[in-house]
Amino acid sequence: MKKSQLYITVLLLALLMAINLLSAERPAGGGHSGDLAEELLTGAYSLRSYLGGLPWYGWAGIAVFLATAGIAFALRDARRARRMLEEPVEKHVEPDTERKRLSKTLMEKYGGPDYAHPIIITDNCIACQRCVDACPHGVLTMAGNFAEVSAPDQCMEDTACEQACPVNPKACVVVNATKEIKPRPVPRRDQKNFMTEEVPGCYLVGDASGVPLIKNAANEGADVIKHIKEELENSQPEPKADYDVAIVGIGVAGLSAAITAKQQNLRYIGIEQDVVLATIASYPKDKPLFFKPESMPVRGAIPIIGAGGISGEILESWLDMMHSNQVVINERESCKGVKRAGDGGDYFIVETQKRGQQETITYRVRRVVLALGERGTPKKIGADNEGIQITRNGRTEKKVRYVLSNPEEFKGQKMIVVGGGNSAVEAAVALVARVRSTQIESGPPVEFRPPGDINEVTLVVRSNFTNDIKLENKLRLYHCVDEGRVEIYFDTSVKEIRENEVVLMDTRTEKEKAVIANDYVLALVGGGGPGAFLESVGITIPKN
């Protein structure tokens, strides 16, 4: 019951009692005996015989009272509702120091409606598409070089879009929100010079910093070396240091940093646990790569021309740039530890280990640049006999592969691809077809291989596809499925790997589901991130 209804009921009862008393008969002699209770008990003060105990004017008074009270409360509720629509209700939001609040100027420029919805600050947007992928309600889309709010009225105040935005200050901000927006679980660093907050002298660039995109990584790699050179020129020399800078991880950011260090005449050491540009080298050679946003200036030391290109050609161009600058990288050498010198000197001790060797190598360096990727060491799928060796064409090799560098290596084979992300979907398509165009509107999205080259492909997905699957990848995959070229098993895991077959099981019940003839298994389920290594250095990653 509303308060207004309760008030009317109480007042009505009081009015009824008053009218009943006023309409009562008096004793024959007139006046009262002086004791109302006694008169009511003895019957000397009784009610008249009217309908309901009230005269006509009593009922008329009640009707007027109810109409007046009802209209008064209705007008009050209407005024309150109109005020809530015309004036924003004060938001009771706990202080959130991690969230970037908008200035009055930005609110006037981008604010929009009074209800909760995201806005895109185009000056900060790097077109990484993470906000679009994170939104479960289709509020955001990509429009050229920027994200765009296409359906603000569909926003359910999920706030995942703002959390996913990797830049600082944020390019995607949910305004008029009452929910707490948690910080992204990425290391804290100075956004201008990329130095980590917890380990002075140690810098973080590349994917592990939480800021994606090839062009951005190349720019950060060059910028951080230029900052280090300027810093060292303005500081006291450290005679105990053998190198000016150690660059750990030679992906896009690391290679850009290494080339810049060579050009700036710094004493550098480049350390890579695999091979230079290992992630790009693992892509199919015809995989398209994009340099977004197109409006971002190029400051890196590697050639980034136009909107993108084919991965094989880009890899060759960047390696040529490395060799022409006579840059030397220690490949297949893993960094095992980074720590400050214990003697109080201004340098770090960097410990590494060559693959297949037990000896620890030590470097003394002034500054450290961690240019780490997000993927790290490939994850195992946990199947029985996963390390099995097989013999194919007179050559002994491992049956389970964790990267697909060249799809053309496999022709007419029975292939199982394990994974539910973009890499697994792209690999499944590449084994049966070649991508015709990067534009999904230009007819059939793929051209199938000729009969002698096409593989028999089964895609095994542990539960379902990941949330960041690109639309064009889904269209290509389901085109292959519709044409009978790829078969998909959802909610399925690999139980056992045998020489010529693979046993599949239900992920939840672990009951055997199928036994499939098989030549090779591609396990594309991601890799262990750099979190443990960063924490060993002293760099913490915030937990949500």
Q: Is the pLDDT of residue 218 over 90?
A: yes
Q: Within 10 A of 86 (CB to CB), how many other CB atoms are there?
A: 8
Burial category of 223 from C-beta neighbours within 10 Å (exposed 0-12, middle 13-18, buried 19 and up) = buried
The dihedrals phi and psi of 82, each to the nearest 5 degrees, come to -65, -40
Spatial distance between the Cα atoms of 500 and 502, rounded to a whole number of angstroms: 7
Contact 364, 241 (CB under 8 A): yes
User: What is the pLDDT of the chain when averaged over all its residues?
Assistant: 84
Spatial distance between the Cα atoms of 308 and 294, rounded to a whole number of angstroms: 9
What angle (nearest 5°) sits at the alpha carbon of residue 521, between those of residues 517 and 525?
Answer: 135
Is 106 or 229 the better-scoring residue by pLDDT? 229
Provide the whole-model pTM: 0.64
**Stretch 232-247: mean pLDDT:** 96
- The helix or strand, by DSSP H or E, that contains position 59, with its residue range, turns out to be helix 56-86
**Stretch 351-377: mean pLDDT:** 91
First and final C-alpha spacing in the chain: 41
**Stretch 14-35: mean pLDDT:** 58
Per cent of the chain over pLDDT 90 is: 46
- The overall longest dimension of the chain from CA atoms, in Å, is 132
**Stretch 318-345: mean pLDDT:** 96
pLDDT at 428: 96
Q: Which of 256, 246, 258 is nearest to 352 (CA)?
A: 246
pLDDT at 85: 60
DSSP 162-203: HHH--SSS-SEEEES--S--PPPS---B-TTT-BBSSSTTEE
Q: What stretches of 130-277 show up as alpha helix (H) in DSSP?
A: 130-134, 160-164, 214-233, 252-263
The 8-class DSSP code of residue 499 comes to: S
Spatial distance between the Cα atoms of 29 and 468, rounded to a whole number of angstroms: 95
Residue 109 in 3-state DSSP?
A: helix
User: Predicted confidence band at 415 (pLDDT cuts at 50, 70, 90)?
Assistant: very high
pLDDT at 3: 65
Q: pLDDT tens digits, residue range 66-78?
A: 778 778 877 887 7
**Stretch 346-351: mean pLDDT:** 97
User: Predicted confidence band at 440 (pLDDT cuts at 50, 70, 90)?
Assistant: very low
pLDDT at 418: 97
Lowest mean pLDDT among 55-59, 311-315, 372-376, 393-397: 55-59
Domain architecture of the chain: domains with CATH:
3-86 (no CATH), 104-175 (3.30.70.20), 202-376+531-537 (3.50.50.60), 379-528 (3.50.50.60)
Q: pLDDT tens digits, residue range 265-276?
A: 999 999 999 999
Cα–Cα distances in angstroms (integers) from residue 170 to residues 110, 117, 163, 207, 294, in the given order = 13, 15, 9, 17, 19
Q: Is 127 left (phi over 0), alpha (psi -120 to 50) or beta?
A: left
pLDDT at 324: 97
Q: Is the pLDDT of residue 123 over 50?
A: yes
C-alpha of 295 from chain center: 23
Cα–Cα distances in angstroms (integers) from residue 432 to residues 98, 435, 501, in the given order = 47, 10, 20
**Can you tell me which residue has the tokens 């707490």?**
180
Q: pLDDT tens digits, residue range 150-192?
A: 998 899 888 889 888 887 778 899 888 877 777 777 888 888 8
Q: Is the pLDDT of residue 439 over 50?
A: no
Q: Is the pLDDT of residue 8 over 50?
A: yes
**Stretch 88-104: mean pLDDT:** 47
The dihedrals phi and psi of 523, each to the nearest 5 degrees, come to -95, 95
pLDDT at 24: 55
pLDDT at 2: 62
Question: Which amino acid, residue 442?
Answer: S
pLDDT at 247: 98
Lowest mean pLDDT among 97-111, 117-131, 197-211, 265-279: 97-111
Q: Is the pLDDT of residue 381 over 70?
A: yes
Structure tokens at 286: 């015809």
pLDDT at 50: 52
Residue 495 in 3-state DSSP?
A: strand
pLDDT at 101: 54
The dihedrals phi and psi of 14, each to the nearest 5 degrees, come to -65, -40
pLDDT at 92: 44
Cα–Cα distances in angstroms (integers) from residue 279 to residues 188, 282, 302, in the given order = 25, 5, 16
Q: pLDDT tens digits, residue range 284-326?
A: 777 788 887 677 789 999 999 888 888 889 999 999 999 999 9
The residues facing 195 across adjacent strands are 203
User: Predicted confidence band at 281 (pLDDT cuts at 50, 70, 90)?
Assistant: confident
Structure tokens at 432: 């049966």
The CB-side HSE value for 401 (13 A sphere, CA atoms) comes to: 19
Q: pLDDT tens digits, residue range 480-510?
A: 999 999 999 999 999 999 999 999 999 999 9
**Residue 428, C-beta contacts closer than 8 angstroms, at least 6 positions apart:** 417, 457, 459, 477, 480, 486
Q: pLDDT tens digits, residue range 501-535?
A: 999 999 999 999 999 999 999 999 987 778 889 99
Residue 378 in 3-state DSSP?
A: strand
Contact 242, 363 (CB under 8 A): yes
**Stretch 25-52: mean pLDDT:** 50
The CB-side HSE value for 406 (13 A sphere, CA atoms) comes to: 4
Q: Is the pLDDT of residue 429 over 80?
A: yes
- The helix or strand, by DSSP H or E, that contains position 488, with its residue range, turns out to be strand 486-489
Residue 157 in 3-state DSSP?
A: coil
pLDDT at 99: 39
